């Protein structure tokens, strides 16, 4: 799903950054012009946008090792942040994972802690890194690249019920139960109705 593959993303130009700053389809998240001493290396912007995998920003240079969804080959960046319109799916295929709250929104930590998916508004924000410390730090610093923001601005709760797999602790359950429009309750009711039809 990530765009790194086996090559470096193209060199960042001021025109590419300006294009990303006017990305029109949804809020595109980043952590600023640099992260942990690593410069912003590339942005997909409107020209590189793929509806199936979202739009990404890339920091640093290629390193050995990558996140679970980081593509093939030997090139991976120390930090990649991908914003995508959320499509309902189960997180089961991500393998071992931990469901939690990050910045008061539901999130899943997987790939040994190197990858985090946060759920906000109608979006999912995927943070892919080479360490849990960097992934966690980046998740705390996320802010829109193409919209004004205030320091400490909260992420909006998701308007959908994330397809979380595995245990859900009480604080996370309370957040899920209080989502706008009650999407988790509606999803549970739909599943229960389907099971009743199968049983009859």
Would 9 be classed as within a structural domain?
no
Q: Is residue 150 part of a domain?
A: yes
Residue 7 lies in a domain: no
pTM of the model: 0.85
Per-residue pLDDT reduced to its tens digit, 97-151: 999 999 999 999 999 999 999 999 999 999 999 999 999 999 999 999 999 887 7
Position 64 pLDDT exceeds 60: no
User: Is 1 a residue whose pLDDT tops 90?
Assistant: no
Residue 65 has pLDDT above 80, yes or no: no
Tell me what pLDDT residue 55 has: 93
Asked, for residue 165, whether it belongs to a domain, the answer is: yes
Domain count, the chain: 1
What is the mean pLDDT of the segment spanning 179-185?
93
Checking if the pLDDT of 163 tops 70, the result is yes
In a domain, 18, yes or no: yes
Q: Which residue has the higher pLDDT, 197 or 181?
A: 181
3-state secondary structure the chain: CCCCCCCCCCCCCHHHHHHHHCCCCCCCEECCCEECCEEEEEECCCCCCECCCEEEEEECCCECCCCCCCCCCCCECCEEEEEEECCCCCCHHHCCEEEEEECCEEEEEEHHHCEEEEEEECEEEEEEECCHHHHHHHHHHCEECCCCCCCCCCCCCECCCCCCCCCCCHHHHHHHHCCCCCHHHHHHHHHHHHHHHHHC
Does a structural domain hold residue 114? yes
What is the extent of the structural domain holding 74? 14-199
Would 5 be classed as within a structural domain?
no
In a domain, 113, yes or no: yes
């Amino acid at each position: 799903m990530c765009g790194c593959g086996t090559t470096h993303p193209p060199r960042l130009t001021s025109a590419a950054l300006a294009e990303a700053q006017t990305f029109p389809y949804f809020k595109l998240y980043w952590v600023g012009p640099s992260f942990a001493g690593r410069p912003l290396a590339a942005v997909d912007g409107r020209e590189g946008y793929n509806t199936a995998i979202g739009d990404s920003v890339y920091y640093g240079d290629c390193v050995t090792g990558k996140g679970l969804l980081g593509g093939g080959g030997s090139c991976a960046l120390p930090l990649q942040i991908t914003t995508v319109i959320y499509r309902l799916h189960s997180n089961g295929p991500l393998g071992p994972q931990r469901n939690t709250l990050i910045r008061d929104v539901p999130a899943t930590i997987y790939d040994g802690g190197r990858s985090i998916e946060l759920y906000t508004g109608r979006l999912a924000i995927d943070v892919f890194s080479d360490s849990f410390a960097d992934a966690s730090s980046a998740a705390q610093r996320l802010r829109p690249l193409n919209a004004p923001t205030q320091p400490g601005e909260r992420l909006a709760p998701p308007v959908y019920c994330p397809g979380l797999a595995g245990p859900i602790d009480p604080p996370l359950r309370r957040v899920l139960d209080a989502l706008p429009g009650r999407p988790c309750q509606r999803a549970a009711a739909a599943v229960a109705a389907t099971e009743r039809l199968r049983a009859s």
